[in-house]
Structure 1
């Protein structure tokens, strides 16, 4: 499944997409992308079903 990452400031800017077999793998990639960002903007992840994940949402999935 393909998950998309967006930078959020006053609008959404597409950053990248990652293909992952599980939501947990995608959330790990999201956390890594969050820490690698060059700007102070937030990075959100959008799932194939349209659901958005914040950094804290992804932490919750990874940490159980």
Structure 2
């Protein structure tokens, strides 16, 4: 579930004061990368990632 990864990274980022997280995918997993990119885009569109997450002062981006 890509949303569990996004949520876990966001919580961990908040805990350590990070505003950006990075995910490395090897080239043999193109389908998984596409699924994750769609999930990141949806989470950003819904306000769960990016600047001012859900109207708070928390910023977190995933690349």
When normalised by structure 1's length, the TM-score is: 0.37
When normalised by structure 2's length, the TM-score is: 0.37
Question: By percentage of residues, which structure has more helix?
Answer: 2
Q: Which has the larger radius of gyration?
A: 2
